[in-house]
Amino acid sequence: MEQELQQCISLDGNSLTTADLVSLGKGLVKIKLTPEAEEHIKRSREVVDDIIAQNKVVYGINTGFGKHADKVISKEKLKELQKNLVFSHAAGVGNPLSPERTRMLLALRINVLAKGHSGISLEAVYTMIEAFNTSCLSFVPEKGTVGASGDLAPLSHLALGLMGEGKMWSPKTGWGEAKSVLEAHGLKPLSLKAKEGLALINGTQMITSLGAEAVERALAIARQADIIAALTLEVLKGTTKAFHSDIHAVRPHPGQNLVAWRFRSVLDSDVFCSEITEKHRPKQRVQDAYSLRCSPQVHGVANDTIAFVKNIISTEMNSATDNPLVFPERGLIISGGNFHGEYPAKALDYLAIGMHELASISERRIERLCNPSLSELPAFLVNEGGLNSGFMIAHCTAAALVSENKVLCHPSSVDSLSTSAATEDHVSMGGWAARKALRVVEHVEQVLAIELLAACQALEFHRPLKTTPPLEEVHQLMRSVVRPWDSDRFMNPDIEASHKLLREKKVWEAVHPYMEQYRERHGPNPSEQGEDMSQLFCSK
């Protein structure tokens, strides 16, 4: 996939990344097709046109759908067939996807069509691209897909707006009737030809686009979780012995070794001096509680989970997932089951479970920060306790989020309800898997935002002593948006400000130059030797 000055991404159906898709969701980059993709789409459409001209009976082109697959539709009613398909399948409910997520959904559907196995016309894809580039976005309810014959309901709503039906939104018009929004941007509604309705609505793009966002956010917070935990270890006067490279070399899970390396990169006293560590070195504990000592093991498997899920989602993003599929090089149209959402559904259930542990162990560290019998700091990290409650209820919020995650981590994809008159008799429930994975990741971000606030507050009680330079950068970053907790005040804005720093990856950006210094002196972590690992875990 080529990029031109970061202003336009050329889609070819084969090389879109999760980071690309999230970037497209922000509406700052336009899309176009590669010449090869245009040729693939045209050749695929020619196969469909030949079938119609020869009066062949092929599922999805001139038959009914699902249980009605044995019903042959006359040539003069093929356009009506496709229109009826979209209308009837646009049966979703609930709040609409945000503009960002709708852009991702639309871009991903275009990328799949660019593979040239869907039988849609090039003109229809151009219409979709024009809608994306002007941010004319359909009203797509978030609920209604079982992730079996793809995400039929949400993708039908996506198609409905492009046809000038239902509602659309754009930055220029806000919400309005789809036809009016399109007209305001000089666009004509999409008029469906044979097979084009099915080509638009059959696929796993809602599961996968939401999954791409979940993966990218998970990657960002997992990186920063290590930095936050290191700061907590420091203010609790913990020992760094548990992060020694020899320990982790004999249990060579990539994520575990990566996290231990990150801890060393911001805590190694040979590279970065800490006045706090030096003062308390004579009384340093032999070992710490598991929430501190076992961070590489617990955080590590979360990192390995992200790597696994990212691979599944990246493959799914660049796969032909509709039905039937057109193979123009052989003139064939073949019905199959690539629309089944089990792959992304299972992967996103796994992501939720893996990411939950980052919040679970973080909540235990927050407890240690707030509990004076464990921290040797003022109760709830505030002076004049009693008059002030400090971080007492911030910790309760973290506990509440962790408890909610425990319910959300129940896998969606172990469930199945037979639909479509037992034709779709095994379904993935991938839409819910994706939506709740995103909720779990957001809760992880919020719990770690609370830990970051608490750790920075705990550092105030060690002053005038300083921690290591990279962790001082983190403290300075926090103090640029949140002042020290001298007495009780409205807590929520502080949590929101901390969460915003993490969403914007500011903590990672603050320490990354120091980690590079450490790398130059001690070399990379063994798990980062491969190019893929380096791109996943170490790029800025």
Smallest CA-to-CA distance from 295 within 110, 500, 76, 451 is with: 451
User: What does each C-alpha distance from 467 to 231, 245, 314, 450 come to in angstroms?
Assistant: 8, 22, 40, 20
Secondary structure element (H or E) that encloses residue 93, with its range: strand 93-96
Catalytic residue check, 350: no
Smallest CA-to-CA distance from 300 within 263, 267, 246, 352 is with: 263
Per residue, what are the HEC states of 422-478?
CCECCCCCHHHHHHHHHHHHHHHHHHHHHHHHHHHHHHHCCCCCCCCHHHHHHHHHH
Q: CB under 8 Å to 212, separation ≥6 — which residues?
A: 18, 21, 22, 104, 108, 313, 317
| Residue 383 tokens, joined | 């002076």
| Maximum separation of any 2 CA atoms in the chain, in Å | 88
| Residue 284 tokens, joined | 């340093």
Q: Could you report how far apart the first and last alpha carbons of the chain are, in Å?
A: 21
| Catalytic annotation, pick one of 59, 126, 290, 514 | 59
Q: CB under 8 Å to 168, separation ≥6 — which residues?
A: 136, 137, 138, 139, 161, 175, 176, 177, 178, 181, 182
> Exposure string (b/e) for 152-182, b if CB count within 10 Å is 16 or more?
bbbbbbbbbbbbbbbbbbbeebeeeebbebb
Give dist(CA 244, CA 431) in Å, integer: 42
Q: Are 177 and 369 in contact (CB under 8 A)?
A: no
Q: Are 48 and 33 in contact (CB under 8 A)?
A: no
DSSP string, 197-218: HHHHH-SSHHHHHHHHHHHHHH
Query: CB 17: neighbour CB atoms within 10 A?
Result: 18
| Residue 141 tokens, joined | 């309810």
Q: Which residues are catalytically annotated? A: 59
